[in-house]
Amino acid sequence: MKRNRTTVWFIVLLVLFTWAVPEAFAEEPDGPAGHGPRTLMQIVSETIKDEQQAVEDALQNMSSEQKILQLFVVDPEELDPGVWRVTAMSDTIRSRLKEYPVGGIIFFADNLETPKQTRALVTAIRDYAMEQTGLPPILCVDEEGGRVARVSNNDAFGLQKTGAMNTISAEEDAQKAGYYIGSYLYMLGFNMNLAPVADVLTVSDNTSIGDRSFGSDPQTVARLAGAYSHGLHAAGILSTYKHFPGDGATASDTHNGFAYTEKSLQELNSCELVPFSDAQRNGADAVMTAHISLPGVTGDNTPASLSRALTTDLLRKSLGYKGLIITDSLEMGAIIQNYTSSQAAVGAVKAGADLILQPDDFQEAMWALKQAVDSGEISKERLDESVRRIIAAKRGIMRTMGYITNS
């Protein structure tokens, strides 16, 4: 209800603004000669066109290999293979980023020791990567709150711990949680949170999700996930709905191996898919695909992260989601026990993923994608679709950082 009131007030203010300042627009010199001043809608349309052109310009300046590298989100140890636990910038990381300018980095608790050390590491990687590509890397972390909080569960950061998501029942509290978490992530240099968990907990003995979920009622989960996401946005952090199409419907843990649900599409539409059907409306910047199988929908055991029927046909087309699609970690048991790194990476992109998270063997995955694009197995048009979305998201990050301003 509060969100609806906010929307109404925004529309009222927009109408008043447009009515009250016609002279300001009349002074704009940019309208075509003989056609009068530009209207507010014309200005918005021109801004959108300018942004689309900027994305196209950046895309055209990339080689095929640079585009492929933008699809990868790796951990810091991939950039410094000789180090068991990366906690500081190094010449090796600089060299690897120059050779392999990947799209993003995911950080874990072992990389994060203190506020000063974390900010130094994250911003050093960000700044050097921007020197190489002109775009910031996606710098992400799992900071859901509750038991999955790589930053706040470290006492060295001195942060108030956010409770488990199943203890939240009001939208205001969910938004406050998102804003609080987003605020300290932003101060530390991160730009994306792999949260909120949008899974509806329908299997009571599911321990992989459990109290990470907002609950067992799909409408409640949808409302609270949306509010949490809005809180992240208010703090300048991108949000990620996970784990599509609903990891709360399984009894197994994909970290360890195969997991599935026998639910039909009709059953999923009435429950697990409800929060994800709201992802576009709530402005979710990314949706993470899970490694769970839905044989009752697809007719086979292909995990959602590698399934075109689920990633493209269901999430993109049926649910109308237009933002980034990122896989769950490809190092998880459900993947490495059944697929090679090359099969997983190529399969994920063919399924419709934009970002490939933590392939087990980055080099193998990268070269497999290059061969797939060179051979036409993955079309250049399909590659460009993902890279456009990645560039657009990164330009949004640059706008938040103050590198881009709307004139």
- What is the per-residue pLDDT across 3-12, written as a single tens digit (0 to 9) for each? 444 443 444 3
Fold of 66-401: TIM Barrel (3.20.20)
Give pLDDT, residue 70: 98
Give catalytic residue positions. 255, 328
Residue 213 has pLDDT above 60, yes or no: yes
What whole-number distance in Å separates Cα of residue 109 and Cα of residue 62?
33
Give pLDDT, residue 40: 60
Give pLDDT, residue 259: 83
DSSP letter for each residue of 104-142: EEEE-GGG--SHHHHHHHHHHHHHHHHHHHSSPPEEEE-
Q: Mind listing the pLDDT tens digit for each residue in 87-131?
A: 999 999 999 999 999 999 999 999 999 999 999 999 999 999 999
Q: Mind listing the pLDDT tens digit for each residue in 145-181?
A: 999 999 999 999 999 999 999 999 999 999 999 999 9
What whole-number distance in Å separates Cα of residue 373 and Cα of residue 39?
44
Cβ neighbours of residue 54 closer than 8 Å, sequence gap 6 or more: 395
- Average pLDDT over every residue of 297-308: 96
Give pLDDT, residue 252: 59
Q: Mind listing the pLDDT tens digit for each residue in 27-52?
A: 444 444 545 566 666 666 777 888 99
Give pLDDT, residue 403: 86
Give pLDDT, residue 49: 86
Give pLDDT, residue 247: 85
SS3 198: coil
For the chain, what is the radius of gyration of the CA atoms? Answer: 22
Beta bridge partners of 141: 107, 193
Give pLDDT, residue 222: 98
- Average pLDDT over every residue of 375-395: 98
**Helix or strand run (H / E) with residue 185:** helix 171-188
**Helix or strand run (H / E) with residue 375:** helix 362-375
Lowest-pLDDT choice from 30-44, 100-114, 356-370, 371-385:
30-44
Angle between helices 218-234 and 171-188 (to 10 degrees): 40
Mean pLDDT rounded to a whole number for the chain: 90
Residue 24 has pLDDT above 60, yes or no: no
- Average pLDDT over every residue of 256-278: 90
List, in sequence order, every beta strand (DSSP E) within 2-76.
72-74
Residue 206 has pLDDT above 90, yes or no: no
Give pLDDT, residue 254: 65
What whole-number distance in Å separates Cα of residue 148 and Cα of residue 207?
13
Give pLDDT, residue 41: 62
Give pLDDT, residue 203: 87
Please give the biggest Cα pair distance in the chain.
70
| pTM, 2 dp | 0.88
User: Residues for the chain: how many in total?
Assistant: 407
Stronger pLDDT, 141 or 14, i.e. the higher one: 141
